[in-house]
Amino acid sequence: MTTVPSGSAADPWSIPPLFAELVDDTSLLQPRMVAPGVDAVVARYLSARDGRYGGLVGQLVCPVSRLPALVTELARSAPSHPVDLSLVVDTGLGAVPKALSTVFSRPGLLTPRTVETAAPPDVDAVWLERVAEFVPEDVLPVVEPRRPLGGSPDEVGVWLDAVRRVAEHGCAPKLRCGGPRASDVPSVTEVERFLAVAVEAGRGFTALGLRQAVRTEPGDGRAQHGILNLLVAVARALASGDVAGALRSTDGAALAGETEELSERAVQGVRRLLSRCGADPDLVPGTALAGLGLLT
């Protein structure tokens, strides 16, 4: 299955290929006490997918434990075409076959695209092969080796070795870029090193926890990475450029200008590497990207 979306400039509602199907809705991954209801998530997702910036919308990410409620709500909502689904393992790998069976039995509602799971820091080929046993060939396994929060250089090295093993085994590594705690945000250096591993392995990855288009630094120690920053950083990593500079930039106009100068081949290379970004609470940063002149 391809991970490089396409867009058509002939369609005024189309999205440039760099942003096509880029942003997933990860609202259902929030803790249940603060997460919106499944009905609200489905309504917002379908509205966004069919709206002005619908070409930005990627997969709907759902924990296995919330799949029954999602299926019920989608059946009630009767979507115009199936929802691309990412299943996140939160109840153990043993629950995956039943969950996938549920999804495959409802082709009018859901199309399974990825199965995502966290991995131990010492993830090895045996563990990864077990994951592969549960995931059909036409569904992409996504594995997140957990980054050590505030880890020493040696611990960060162990994490990056795990990322490399995941990529070499044919799975897509996941990079967590944000979350409810300041420690959930990796440093610029950690993201730069992750990208170096991804480029070397030549394997696409996904990112989670990107909440805005451009990096913010509010001054309270809770800097947030931006979607544009990551896209430009990937482009520079592929061209042996200044990756750290792209990740640190808060100049949205400059980042936008750099993306517009990317060749068609460069765009394809970026999206082969960075296939998807998970975002919440705002499903699609269409307004922000339009404000930078990147969407019409």
pLDDT tens profile 229-273 = 999 999 999 999 999 999 999 999 999 999 999 999 999 999 999
CB count, 10 Å around CB of 36? Answer: 15
The first and second tokens of residue 53, run together, are 């910036």
Burial of 30 (0-12, 13-18, 19+ CB in 10 A): middle
| pLDDT given for residue 116 in this prediction | 97
Is the Cβ–Cβ distance between 103 and 67 less than 8 Å?
Answer: yes
Which stretch of 12-16, 105-109, 270-274 has the lowest confidence by average pLDDT?
A: 12-16
Handedness of CA 117, 170, 57, 230 (dihedral sign): positive
4 has pLDDT over 70: no
Q: What's this model's pTM, rounded to 2 decimal places?
A: 0.92
Q: What is the mean pLDDT of the chain?
A: 90
User: Would you say residue 7 has pLDDT above 70?
Assistant: no
| pLDDT exceeds cutoff 70 at 13 | no
Going from the C-alpha of 76 to that of each of 42, 61, 62, 125, 235, the distances in angstroms are 10, 19, 17, 42, 42
3-class state of residue 132 by DSSP: helix
pLDDT band at 121 (very low <50, low <70, confident <90, very high): confident
Is pLDDT above 80 for 179? Answer: no
The predicted-structure confidence for 45-100, as pLDDT tens digits, reads as follows 999 998 889 999 999 999 999 999 999 999 999 999 999 999 999 999 999 999 99
Nearest-angstrom CA–CA distance, 226 and 238: 19
Please give the domain boundaries of the chain with CATH numbers for all domains: 23-291 (3.20.20)
Cβ contact 132:119 at 8 Å? no
Q: Percent of the chain scored above 90 by pLDDT?
A: 75
Count the residues in the chain: 296
